Structure 1
Amino acid sequence: MSDPGGVAGDQLRAFVERIERLEEEKKVISDDIKDVYAEAKGTGFDVKILRKVISLRKKQPHEREEEDAILDLYMHALGMNGPANDA
């Protein structure tokens, strides 16, 4: 059913309600993730490093290698030791 402005009000309302439900689910999941990080921190894990590990696991090996190479290049350009030179 179309409103005078050409907008299907029922369809629009359905989209808005679906988005609102998903946003609420996203908030619940986000809160759960925060709880897991807090639990990990409580057992002695470094949350900053844990977040980095999670981020790295999402990437393909070639993506990580490329980022490491660029990081090493930039650190050398700044006169800093790169990850490959720490050994």
Structure 2
Amino acid sequence: MSTPEAIGQGDPSSVAADQLKSIIDRIERLEDEKVGIAGDIKDVYAEAGANGFDVKTLRKIVALRRKDHDERQEEEALLETYLVALGMA
């Protein structure tokens, strides 16, 4: 574990302190951008809903497109197996 001296707490002009401040600043900036992007995504879903698209289905499609083909096929096969076992297919 780092001591305060190791990260430059005693000497704010140290390289480690500057590097730490830079990292924190970048993280904070990215977190702010993430909040903005999340708001933009929410707006797009709201627009889609207002245009008659089913938002729940759109979210499912986006999730499916993130997965690779093999992973998606495996999930679909398991779903089909479970549906058959429950008498739903």
TM-score w.r.t. structure 1 length?
Answer: 0.81
Give the alignment partner of residue 65 of structure 1, picking from 50, 73, 87.
Answer: 73
Matched residue count: 79
Pair 1:19-2:12 in alignment: no
The ranges of structure 1 where at least 4 consecutive aligned residues each deviate by more than 6 angstroms after the TM superposition are none
Give the alignment partner of residue 79 of structure 1, picking from 76, 81, 87.
Answer: 87
Residues in 2 aligned to 1:70 and 1:4: alpha-carbon distance in whole angstroms: 52
Q: Write the deviation string for residues 33-80 of structure 1: whole angstroms up to 9, x where unpaired.
A: 100000000011100000011111122222221111001111222232
- The percent of aligned pairs where both chains have the same amino acid is 57
Give the alignment partner of residue 62 of structure 2, picking from 50, 54, 58.
Answer: 54
Shift of 1:4: 5.0
